[in-house]
Amino acid sequence: MQKRVKMAERPASERIKDFRQVNLGYTNEQAVEEAKRCLQCKKPFCVDGCPVEIDIPGFIKAIAAGNPLKAAAVLKQKNNLPAICGRVCPQEEQCEIKCILHSKGEPIGIGNLERFAADFEKEHYAKNNRHTALMPKNGIKVAVIGSGPAGLTCAGDLVKMGYLVTVYESLHKSGGVLRYGIPEFRLPDDILDYEIENLAKLGVNISLNTLVGRTKSVAELFDEGYKAVFIGTGAGLPNFLGVPGENLNHVYSANEFLVRVNLMRAFEFPLYDTPIYVGGHVVVIGGGNTAIDAARTALRLGAEEVNLVYRRSEQELPARREEVVHAQEEGVRLRLLTNPVKFSGDENGFVKEMECVKMELGDPDSSGRRRPKLIQNSNFTIRTDMAIIAIGLSPNPVLPSLTEKLERDDEGHLKIDDKYMTSIKGVFAGGDIVGGETVIQAMGMGKKAARSMNEYLKEINPKPS
């Protein structure tokens, strides 16, 4: 079997000095070569693995035929943000794992090809891109709250169906976690800007600096004439460990650290006004993509050493394998089966060390992963002047708590029915606010919610015959 074409990467020693992309993308020749490996299955299992139902063999066929623009058009039938998905989706767990060639160990590089087609379109025909089929405008207003992956996908699909869509974003820039969370070296701002501009060209209106719940209420949106609302406000609230010393100076949530760097561009301080501390001995607590992003960002800011502390073993690391490998190449040290129990600081309240305990794996827990157990008397300390806590997020409570009759479950997620409708008629929700986990899951939910909203709006507002 022909080998999968590897995407070129910049060497670790070079890339840790800046925030530019790590993966360089396929050349035309590489893309065609990789696309030609696709068997064009009659029953393509890969499509089943895609939360947004992309016609994967279809777009790959177009690349193989030397027509990447057509490939981009095929992608955009289902996916409003292909340049983003090609970069940040965990394809290895979704489409690629279902690829028939996976059993032989060399599945098609679906993500790489998606990125290639989307980038090709951006570079060559961005200005007259007319691939998206639009329904005529129907004059019906819908509101989308949150401009992250769920909201943007939902907005894109609704605008294509002919609705007048306004997206409300609380921050001063759109993109949600794609903007403030994912660093430039994985998802450059210009790619995100490009994808969002494309949505704007389709007619999506984005209203920044609007915290729905505070700036205006959901009820007021209906008063303003919106016929349906989608809530995609994400998982904003950072979780902390609940151990002593956690509020010492230079102990950050990953959200704060990444917001400062990605959204506020603190890595360019003092040219930009938002400061960030550059730690010498940085510890990052957690094992997800956010933890890995924070660790690699700290290295790029100039940290001498970065320890990533995770309470389970390498096998259970929830981050994408590719990102873990990249992080290790760059010098991030994994401290596995390790759990923090306490931070201590100096006399001015700045963190100076983290006390940890060693863990071992016991029986599987409800998630199927082996539960980490404390090893008695295994305490030890790690020297640190900056700790970043990346152990997950809870749903942002601002909008739910300020919206009457919007029901939540015990964890604070919005309750939705099988049509993505919340406990309020005409109000739909998707993404992390209902319990999604990844960018693409959020996009999948945004997409399905858009479909349900269309059905709902057709029902309440049948066309006069």
Who contacts 119 (Cβ-Cβ below 8 Å, separation ≥6)? 25, 83, 86, 191
348 binds other proteins (CB under 8 A): yes
208 binds other proteins (CB under 8 A): yes
Residues forming a β-bridge with 305: 281
- Residue from 105, 136, 139, 270 touching other proteins (CB under 8 A): that is 270
272 binds other proteins (CB under 8 A): yes
In terms of CB distance, is 171 or 374 closer to other proteins?
A: 171
216 binds other proteins (CB under 8 A): yes
In terms of CB distance, is 180 or 456 closer to other proteins?
A: 180
Confirm if 405 and 426 have CB atoms less than 8 A apart.
no
341 binds other proteins (CB under 8 A): no
243 binds other proteins (CB under 8 A): no
- Residue from 3, 20, 214, 321 touching other proteins (CB under 8 A): that is 214
In terms of CB distance, is 118 or 283 closer to other proteins?
A: 283
CB of 379 to other proteins, least distance (A): 23
- Residue from 171, 202, 361, 382 touching other proteins (CB under 8 A): that is 171
In terms of CB distance, is 216 or 335 closer to other proteins?
A: 216
Q: Alpha-carbon dihedral of residues 312, 315, 317, 320, nearest 10 degrees? A: 180
- Residue from 120, 194, 222, 252 touching other proteins (CB under 8 A): that is 252
Give dist(CA 174, CA 155) in Å, integer: 13
Confirm if 411 and 395 have CB atoms less than 8 A apart.
yes
186 binds other proteins (CB under 8 A): no
183 binds other proteins (CB under 8 A): no
CB of 352 to other proteins, least distance (A): 13
- Residue from 79, 147, 153, 170 touching other proteins (CB under 8 A): that is 170
250 binds other proteins (CB under 8 A): yes
CB of 199 to other proteins, least distance (A): 21
In terms of CB distance, is 307 or 396 closer to other proteins?
A: 396
Q: What angle do CA 19, 262, 285 make, to 5 degrees?
A: 90
460 binds other proteins (CB under 8 A): no
- Residue from 4, 33, 205, 277 touching other proteins (CB under 8 A): that is 277
382 binds other proteins (CB under 8 A): no
CB of 1 to other proteins, least distance (A): 47
Q: Which stretch binds other proteins (CB under 8 A): 89-97, 146-154, 237-245, 370-378?
A: 237-245
Helix 321-330 crosses helix 289-301 at what angle (to 10 degrees)?
Answer: 20
Confirm if 389 and 286 have CB atoms less than 8 A apart.
yes
CB of 180 to other proteins, least distance (A): 8
408 binds other proteins (CB under 8 A): no
Instruction: Fill in the per-residue mask, 117 to 156: x = in contact with other proteins (CB under 8 A), - = not in contact.
Output: ----------------------------------------
Count of residues of this chain found to bind other proteins when the rule CB under 8 A is applied:
41
CB of 172 to other proteins, least distance (A): 4
- Residue from 41, 100, 200, 211 touching other proteins (CB under 8 A): that is 211
237 binds other proteins (CB under 8 A): yes
- The contact set with other proteins (CB under 8 A) reads 170-172, 180, 208-211, 214-216, 236-238, 240, 246-250, 252-253, 255-256, 259-260, 264-265, 269-275, 277, 348-349, 396-398
